[in-house]
Structure 1
Amino acid sequence: MALASVVTLGLGSMPSGALAGEPAGAVDAAGTTATVEGAGPANAAGAFRSAPGSRGGYAFAGNARRIDGAVSTADAAELEPGRTYRSTLPGTGKVYYRLELDATTNIYASVTAVPPAGRTASVIDGVKVSLEDVEGRSCDVDTASFGAAGSPHPVAAWAMRELSPRRSLCKEAGTYYVAVERVDPDGEGSSPDPWETELTAVSEPPLERTGATIAPREWDSAPPEPVPGKPERRRGGAGFALAAPVGHGVWRDDIRPGQTLFYKVPVDWGRQLHATAELGSSASAGGGGYVAAALDLDLYNPARGHVVDVGIGYDGDQKAESLAPLPPVAHVNRHAVSRQVGAMRFAGSYYLVAHLSAEVADGFGDAPVPLTLRVRLSGAAQDGPGYAGEAVPSDVFTVTGQDRQAAAAGGDAVFRALAVGGIGTGSALLVGLGVWTLVARRRALP
């Protein structure tokens, strides 16, 4: 990364309250700012420790606009594509948000629900997201739950308005509503308190020319061998906005019971993603304990739509499981009957989200458990499908050279420490820039 780019990111992305002691913000390698729920006052060391993968909170996007969900569609606040919002979800009942749509673009609305920390919850509790027209007809609906472990953690669900020959409703321009509600608010162990939520909406333009309307019938669905090799350390982030970039390779972190870690993988058109998660052996092994759903690994697409997940049981000895094989990223995947295949419909950053159940602490203590991700990217990158216009945001369905560089290098530790903790003094900034100058010079040497 050029020094000029580093200076721009370091200054332009600095959280506005960093110098005033406001709640800590964080900046990822691409310059995305986030605020960490539950983080203390900003300082160069403490904030850096608390931001990535902190059990104390979810890292909301720092530029997220606060809005209220309405109990009636008549009062629904508007969601603009390309923006991120922060809201709350009550313990019972629906809340509504409004979309103003044209008759040519697809829209994808995603809601990340962040329940309060706790030990147990209803296994089917979670968030339900619906997209409806003005007559109350459903365009799409999706749910996301905590899964078999019943361990509260951030989960995301998405709903879409897709212009497709297979869909007869929701094609007209006009007003639409995003409805959000709890899946099982009265379930055993479920918290009655409001949940924090993060909402995004992204739009996808039509194609320049009408493409195929049949999903590929043949693709390599054989599970590949996990990527071998020595793991490289890569700290997971605490939210979508702070997801740690990773690429093809083996990546290592530590995860504590109740913690959720976020990673993002740039996946080009035509490339195939495969991932395996491993839990390492514990020093507390041998006690006879077993957690049937210890680790949950979820994959989300660039629109934060859920693709697939896998669970891992844990008895203190090393365990590993892989995500189900997925097709290469292609525009025509959307025509598949399977929603899992259909979610692999565009290029961009795919997110791997790992959650270790709070129940693990009961049998193996609160110490972190080694987590290894083996990420495989196969197939040759291809040109995009030929959109007649730009997506909003413009880079959501693309993979840039900077994305690939960040995935391979993960950003510099010094830059991340300064960016996440905030620049406490002018001297710290000068020292940081001096270090980056030295790093840039060394990288330029043959």
Structure 2
Amino acid sequence: MDRRRGGGRGRTAGVLGAAVCAALALPGGAWAAGGAGTAGADTDAKGYAFEADAARVKGAVSTLDAERLQAGRTYRDTLKKDGKLYYRVDLDAQQNAYASVVAVPKAGTAATFADGVKVSMRDGSGTQCGYQDEDFGSGKYGRPIAAYADRTLEPGSSTCRKAGAYYVLVERTSKEDSDPGDWELEIRFRTEPGVKPVGPTKLPENWASGTPQPPAGGPRPRDGGAGLHEAVSLGEGEWRTDLRPGQTVFYRIPVDWGQQLFVGAELGSSPAADTYVGGALALSLENPAYGHVTDSQSLGYSGGPASMELGPQRPVAYENRFAANRETSAMRFAGWYYLSATLSPELAEVYGDGALPLTLRVTVRGKAEAGPAYQGDAGPFAVTGDDRDAAENGLSVPAQQRGDTLRIVGLAGIGTGTVLVLGLGVWWLPARRSAAGRA
């Protein structure tokens, strides 16, 4: 009997130790609102922070040798110049599917209009279900760029509807004199539940395309993350950060069904020089499946204030996916929309390597509407109350995930000292009962 009691105390002590360890591992000051950086993240020389839990995968040159990607997982691979890599995904006959790629060139890579990445999804017969290609545009410098391929179940179409193996092809487009260096890839595969009934497929004829008044209240400081997985949350308002030449920062904005997103940017003045630099700032917007929505690379800079806006997008709607226009089609679901900003490395040659002030203006117009009747969990294709709180508080992706973990284990709002007291209480009560039993 005593041995069993002793074993009980040992198990309780083990629980206490686990609770203490969990408490000590809670996020502290390093995870303050608006802070960027993830402990253990794999960051390349350019500063892009890859998702730390991403698994290494090796793309194949043949579909028959392609490794299978699992839904909800993130992967890493390397793409050579003129390279083509195949991956396999297994789909049912009810879900839409999305395979996305973030291509990250090495630091200092020069780029042209011809340099880019194409992602496509094909069925077993080679029929192309969906594709997207993205390049560096007028900004002649390498930076992280994203593209995705989709399998969309379109009413009335028999293409790509069968269950079975599908293949994701990632291709690098380049010219003979393009930089020969390898590109690192961050690959994600996500599925979207089917809906019943399907609902409308025709786009509304009228929608607000005018730019709203800029948000009031003045800029508030909020530094961005170094990768998509470290994106820092933004809500409506003006947000200020400092950006160095060649640096890319990532943010995310919750946009619900029926809502419309507007984004503007302004580079502050510099006393260093007054020389014109074209393509000084590049903005890019990606959707909740990490597919490219739109970008802008037309901002020139001469040392004085300079501003630009992303083109107005349609309100988020399920029927957008059936549009021929790529930007409209990408605004197909609610969730986090990802905004990146890159400052041209050419600015360092004229204005030095110091940071320039950048203000982002975010407006989300319209009330949230009911979403489609998904036949399953919407997953990332929804906006929750926690998401809105994260945007208000400037939480990064890892910070919000850690908060979710706290709620799961019932420790939300409980300090380390409280956890220790509770743990000691858990240990003391059985010990007290054991002593009473021996008396």
Place the TM-score, normalised by the shorter chain, in its bin. Answer: 0.7 to 0.9
Is 1:101 the counterpart of 2:85? The answer is no
Q: Normalising to structure 2: TM-score of the pair?
A: 0.81
Of the two, which has the highest radius of gyration?
2
Contact 1:28 1:242 in 2 (8 A): no
**Equivalents in 2 of 1:32, 1:291: separation in Å?**
30
Q: CA RMSD in A?
A: 2.9
CA gap 1:308/1:166 in 2 versus in 1, 3 angstroms: farther
1:337-348 correspondence to structure 2 within 5 Å: 337-348=324-335
Q: Match for residue 137 of structure 1?
A: 127
- 1:403 is paired with a residue whose SS is helix
Q: Match for residue 305 of structure 2?
A: 318
Per the TM alignment, residue 383 of structure 1 is displaced from its structure 2 partner at its CA by 1.5
- Select which of 356, 380, 395 maps to 2:367: 380
Q: Match for residue 307 of structure 1?
A: 293
- 2:25 is paired with a residue whose SS is helix
Residue type of the alignment partner of 1:399 = V
**Equivalents in 1 of 2:220, 2:156: separation in Å?**
45
- 1:371 is paired with a residue whose SS is strand
Residue type of the alignment partner of 2:160 = C
CA gap 1:215/1:262 in 2 versus in 1, 3 angstroms: same
Number of positions where the alignment pairs a residue of Structure 1 with one of Structure 2: 382
Is 1:255 the counterpart of 2:239? The answer is no
Q: Match for residue 252 of structure 2?
A: 264
**Equivalents in 2 of 1:32, 1:398: separation in Å?**
25
- Select which of 373, 380, 401 maps to 2:385: 401
Q: Match for residue 84 of structure 1?
A: 74
Q: Match for residue 11 of structure 2?
A: none
- 1:332 is paired with a residue whose SS is helix
**Equivalents in 2 of 1:301, 1:10: separation in Å?**
35
1:227-242 correspondence to structure 2 within 5 Å: 227-242=215-230
Residue type of the alignment partner of 1:11 = A
Per the TM alignment, residue 248 of structure 1 is displaced from its structure 2 partner at its CA by 0.4
Contact 2:219 2:239 in 1 (8 A): yes
Per the TM alignment, residue 33 of structure 1 is displaced from its structure 2 partner at its CA by 5.7
Q: Normalising to structure 1: TM-score of the pair?
A: 0.80
- 1:342 is paired with a residue whose SS is helix
CA gap 1:176/1:119 in 2 versus in 1, 3 angstroms: closer
**Equivalents in 2 of 1:34, 1:139: separation in Å?**
38
CA gap 1:337/1:27 in 2 versus in 1, 3 angstroms: farther
Q: Which runs of 5+ in 2 are unaligned?
A: 1-20, 403-414, 418-439
Per the TM alignment, residue 222 of structure 1 is displaced from its structure 2 partner at its CA by 1.3
**Equivalents in 2 of 1:74, 1:211: separation in Å?**
37
Residue type of the alignment partner of 1:342 = S
CA gap 1:154/1:388 in 2 versus in 1, 3 angstroms: same
- Select which of 394, 397, 415 maps to 1:410: 394
Contact 2:61 2:85 in 1 (8 A): yes
CA gap 1:364/1:191 in 2 versus in 1, 3 angstroms: same
Residue type of the alignment partner of 1:206 = G
Q: Match for residue 442 of structure 1?
A: none
- 1:122 is paired with a residue whose SS is coil
CA gap 1:205/1:10 in 2 versus in 1, 3 angstroms: farther
Per the TM alignment, residue 100 of structure 1 is displaced from its structure 2 partner at its CA by 0.5
Is 1:355 the counterpart of 2:342? The answer is yes
Is 1:111 the counterpart of 2:91? The answer is no
- Select which of 172, 175, 185 maps to 2:165: 175
**Equivalents in 1 of 2:71, 2:109: separation in Å?**
35
Per the TM alignment, residue 292 of structure 1 is displaced from its structure 2 partner at its CA by 1.4
Q: Match for residue 192 of structure 1?
A: 180
**Equivalents in 2 of 1:78, 1:13: separation in Å?**
34
- 1:408 is paired with a residue whose SS is helix
**Equivalents in 2 of 1:141, 1:87: separation in Å?**
19
Contact 1:290 1:314 in 2 (8 A): yes
Per the TM alignment, residue 268 of structure 1 is displaced from its structure 2 partner at its CA by 1.2
**Equivalents in 2 of 1:166, 1:87: separation in Å?**
37
CA gap 1:10/1:232 in 2 versus in 1, 3 angstroms: farther
**Equivalents in 1 of 2:359, 2:365: separation in Å?**
19
Contact 2:36 2:232 in 1 (8 A): no
CA gap 1:33/1:98 in 2 versus in 1, 3 angstroms: farther
CA gap 1:385/1:274 in 2 versus in 1, 3 angstroms: same
Structure 1 stretches of 4+ with a deviation exceeding 6 A read 7-10, 25-32
Contact 1:291 1:314 in 2 (8 A): yes
